[in-house]
Amino acid sequence: MQRQFFLLSRRTYATSSAKAVRLAFDKYPAKVVANQTTKSPLIICHGLFGSKQNWASLCRAAAQRIQRDIYAVDLRNHGDSPHDKRHDFGAMAQDLLVFMKEQQLEQPILMGHSMGGKAVMTAALEQPTLVSKVISVDMPPVPLQLSRGFATYIEGMQEVDRAKCTKQSQADVILQKYESNPGIRMFLLTNLKRQVDPSNNNNNVLSFRLPLTILANALSNVGAFPTDTINGNTYDGPTLFIGGEKKAAIKSYFPHSQLEVVQGAGHWVHAEKPDQVLRLITSFCQEN
């Protein structure tokens, strides 16, 4: 009977309007405990070039511990969610707020890594009364200059698309020219999808499901923080920053925040130190 608690509900939506896209998501239902009040859900957002599947292991583990439904979403232009020319945090925050409304999620905890961290912070600052808590993983609420590496990854993925590879190993060989770290290459390769080559309907090829041109044009937006749209708002609810820097800037937007630095971890802290991150998330979610 316990296994049923970890079945995933998968849904993919089409674009609903010019302002918001309807986000694809995986739902990890809470373990049902008799005579226990239902707790507000946790919504998790990935970073640039990521997807909801990157969080699957952590979501399964967290569903046991925090006793609340978990929704891992694909942000616009990522994973199974629709593509849209607009890719900035105002748009991503709107997508999240529409998702919360359509799924009837009251007072959720919003959590995001990197780009997803800025998306959830923007949503909380724009509509603070709709969010119970915020967790940002390795991302403070400040503009940051993206490293040249992100543009380089897009160049590598574009070369893979032009090569019309039929095997993942072929795509990996191409990406080696752009990134030596096999872990990062494997992360990027999770976005490969087998499709029919328009020039040869009988020949299936691998290509990236990411809208690479849109994302290339949006890199400056991803590095920014939307101070123009949040109008000097603050979010006064409990907020956890895992990793990250610039504590003064954090407090100016999130006065009731705490910072937990995970030693020995880099940008993908949740992948490098999953047990420590899970403990921090669990403790924070359980606090009253």
Average pLDDT over residues 20-30: 95
Q: Which residues pair with 42 in a beta bridge?
A: 70, 109
Query: What is the rounded average pLDDT for all residues in the chain?
Result: 87
Spatial distance between the Cα atoms of 25 and 217, rounded to a whole number of angstroms: 25
- In three-state secondary structure terms, 54 is helix
**162/10: higher pLDDT:** 162
Residue 152 has pLDDT above 70, yes or no: yes
- Are the CB atoms for 77 and 211 separated by under 8 Å? yes
Q: Which residues of 108-126 are buried (b: 16+ CB within 10 A; e: fewer)?
A: bbbbbbbbbbbbbbbbbbb
> What is the pTM (predicted TM-score) of this model?
0.89
**38/145: higher pLDDT:** 145
* pLDDT the model gives residue 90: 94
* pLDDT the model gives residue 30: 86
Classify residue 56 by burial, with Cβ atoms within 10 Å: 0-12, 13-18, 19+.
middle
* pLDDT the model gives residue 254: 95
- Are the CB atoms for 9 and 27 separated by under 8 Å? yes
* Least-confidence region, from 10-14, 190-194, 196-200: 10-14
| Residue 150 falls in which region: left (phi positive, over 0), alpha (psi -120 to 50) or beta | alpha
What are the structural domains of the chain? 2-144+225-286 (3.40.50.1820), 148-216 (no CATH)
Q: What is the DSSP string of 116-165?
A: HHHHHHHHHHHSGGG-SEEEEES--SS--PPPHHHHHHHHHHHHHHHHT-
Element (H, E) at 6: none
Cα separations in angstroms, 243 against 135, 234, 253, 266, 269: 11, 21, 17, 9, 8
The string of pLDDT tens digits covering residues 203-236 is 689 999 999 999 999 999 999 998 877 878 999 9
Spatial distance between the Cα atoms of 252 and 129, rounded to a whole number of angstroms: 18
Say which residues have a Cβ less than 8 Å from residue 51's Cβ, sequence separation at least 6.
Answer: 74, 78, 79, 80, 190, 191
The string of pLDDT tens digits covering residues 126-144 is 999 999 999 999 899 988 8
Q: Which two tokens stand for residue 276?
A: 């420590």
Using alpha carbons, select from 245, 237, 214, 182 the residue that is nearest to residue 88: 214
Q: Which two tokens stand for residue 129?
A: 């009364």
Strand 200-208 vs strand 192-197: parallel, antiparallel, or unpaired?
antiparallel
* pLDDT the model gives residue 12: 38
**pLDDT interval class at 17 (50, 70, 90):** very low
